[in-house]
């Protein structure tokens, strides 16, 4: 794999995910700044993932009508502009609006980059290029949370959002400069018809995959959105910077994603996901212990389970026929990010009723649903 291609994949992964969940480490501070409840301020996270869910099915079609440079400039430019507007928001409603707008540009970047990688690399190297991209999405996800928390503690939440927009812009510039032939038109794609989506939804195996995607990001987002309120309170009392440091567990994905694939063909998706569900349950139990290291360990288990489950379902969809895969990938991405959107909001109801214990109860039930759905994959 060429150095230029590696830089493209890395910059794309970092650019795409540095902003999506960055506000999680800022939520307690935002709740205080806007005098809002946890469930209300969490909409600043769920709005972005909801926009990604809504825009994903048509992103490939839009990318197919532009050249590479235009795809990059539109997606990155849109995310940076909306990020700057969010930093200047004078109300919680304005912040949520600009975070939603920011999410509309993300699927364009994801669809474009995955197309670039498929076109630029020989078939036997596409997997390595994609793994490099996925690893850097993990780095970007962690960096956004850590940078946001650290900057907010010293300079406030507006400075944190400005810093995130700057990181987005710099990584996007690296991505643009590393593109091979930016004037090259992306291979055209037809917009799927309604019948294609209905056929996919009628298939019980694919419905199960969509349910698993929904439940996986629901659990991950719900956990890392409301654990910040849990850790900011007694007996932990963590500051925004310390909350950002807890997201180091997110880096587990760099190790897990490349390794877990070898087990799919040997054991099958049902057994692998059954194991990840048990791991997630164990992690949730650990977070209930009044010890910071136990909580961090539990979060690490939940991270490993989430990334392993996502990799398992993604590999299942990758083995479909090209036509089925195109529709299934769009529906899976939509269900995945819809789960993330609701996962940032619905556990807030549980939080207000019974604190972190109630949140864990809800997330454990979601994992029961994931476990049952996995039995239809093999």
Q: What is the pLDDT of residues 164-193, one digit of tens each?
A: 999 999 998 998 888 776 667 655 555 555
User: Which CATH number do you get for residue 182?
Assistant: 1.20.1250.20
Lowest mean pLDDT among 134-138, 140-144, 217-221, 273-277: 134-138
Tens of pLDDT, residues 319-330: 665 556 667 767
Instruction: Indicate the pLDDT class of residue 245, thresholds 50, 70 and 90.
Output: confident
Q: Do 53 and 119 belong together in one domain?
A: yes
Would you state the pLDDT for residue 307? 81
Would you state the pLDDT for residue 259? 66
Q: Are 106 and 79 in contact (CB under 8 A)?
A: yes
Would you state the pLDDT for residue 198? 67
Compute the average pLDDT of residues 138-162. 90
Which among 191, 206, 228 is the end of a domain? 191
pLDDT at residue 261 tops 70? no
Q: Are 214 and 339 in contact (CB under 8 A)?
A: yes
**Residue 113 belongs to domain spanning:** 1-191
Q: Do 218 and 182 belong together in one domain?
A: no
**Other CB atoms within 10 A of residue 357 CB:** 13
Would you state the pLDDT for residue 99? 96
Which among 148, 170, 191 is the end of a domain? 191
Output the average pLDDT for the chain: 83
Q: Are 24 and 225 in contact (CB under 8 A)?
A: yes
Compute the average pLDDT of residues 344-361. 92
Compute the average pLDDT of residues 351-357. 93
Would you state the pLDDT for residue 173? 92
Would you state the pLDDT for residue 302? 93
Compute the average pLDDT of residues 121-143. 73
Instruction: Indicate the pLDDT class of residue 157, thresholds 50, 70 and 90.
Output: very high
Compute the average pLDDT of residues 51-71. 80
Would you state the pLDDT for residue 340? 86
Would you state the pLDDT for residue 276? 87
Would you state the pLDDT for residue 295? 95
Q: In the chain, how many domains are there?
A: 2
Position with higher pLDDT, 313 vs 231: 231
Q: What percent of the chain has pLDDT over 90?
A: 35
Q: Do 303 and 351 belong together in one domain?
A: yes
Position with higher pLDDT, 51 vs 182: 51
Q: Do 177 and 259 belong together in one domain?
A: no
What does the H/E/C string look like for 169-219? HHHHHHHHHHCCCCCCECCCCCCCCHHHHHHHHHCHHHHHHHHHHHHHHHH
Q: Do 159 and 302 belong together in one domain?
A: no
Q: Do 244 and 331 belong together in one domain?
A: yes
Closest CA to 329 of 197, 202, 221: 197
Which among 164, 191, 218 is the end of a domain? 191
Q: Do 169 and 211 belong together in one domain?
A: no
Would you state the pLDDT for residue 112? 77
pTM over 0.85: no
Residue 260, phi then psi, degrees to nearest 5:
-70, -25
C-alpha 115/C-alpha 43 separation (Å) is: 31
């Amino acid at each position: 794999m060429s150095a230029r291609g590696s830089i493209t994949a890395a910059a794309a992964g970092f650019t795409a995910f540095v902003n999506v969940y960055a506000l999680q480490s800022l939520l307690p501070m935002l709740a205080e700044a806007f005098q809002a409840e946890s469930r209300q301020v969490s909409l600043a996270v769920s709005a972005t993932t909801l926009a990604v869910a809504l825009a994903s099915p048509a992103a490939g079609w839009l990318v197919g009508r532009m050249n590479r440079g235009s795809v990059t400039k539109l997606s990155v430019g849109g995310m940076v502009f909306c990020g700057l507007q969010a930093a200047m928001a004078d109300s919680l409603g304005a912040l949520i609006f600009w975070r939603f707008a920011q999410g509309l540009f993300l699927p364009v970047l994801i669809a474009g980059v995955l197309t670039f990688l498929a076109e630029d690399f020989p078939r036997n190297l596409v997997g390595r290029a994609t793994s490099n991209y996925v690893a850097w999405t993990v780095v970007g996800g962690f960096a956004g949370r850590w940078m946001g928390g650290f900057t907010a503690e010293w300079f406030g939440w507006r400075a944190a959002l400005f810093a995130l927009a700057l990181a987005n812009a710099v990584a996007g510039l690296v991505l643009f400069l590393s593109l091979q032939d930016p004037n090259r038109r992306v291979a055209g794609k037809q917009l799927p018809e309604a019948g294609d989506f209905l056929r996919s939804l009628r298939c019980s195996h694919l419905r199960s995959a969509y349910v698993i995607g929904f439940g996986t990001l629901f659990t991950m987002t719900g956990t890392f959105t409301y654990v910040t309120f849990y850790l900011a309170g007694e007996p932990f009392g963590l500051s925004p910077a310390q909350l950002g440091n807890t997201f180091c567990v997110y880096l587990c994905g760099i190790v897990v994603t490349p390794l877990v694939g070898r087990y799919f063909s040997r054991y099958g998706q049902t057994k692998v996901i059954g194991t990840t569900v048990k791991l997630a349950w164990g992690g949730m139990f650990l977070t209930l212990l009044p010890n910071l290291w136990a909580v961090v360990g539990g979060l690490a288990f939940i991270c490993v389970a989430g990334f392993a489950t996502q990799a398992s379902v993604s590999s299942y969809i990758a083995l479909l026929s090209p036509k089925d895969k195109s529709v299934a990938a769009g529906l899976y991405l939509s269900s995945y990010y819809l789960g993330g959107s609701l996962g940032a909001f619905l556990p807030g109801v549980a939080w207000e009723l019974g604190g972190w214990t109630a949140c864990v109860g809800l997330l454990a039930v979601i994992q029961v649903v994931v476990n049952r759905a996995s039995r239809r994959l093999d």
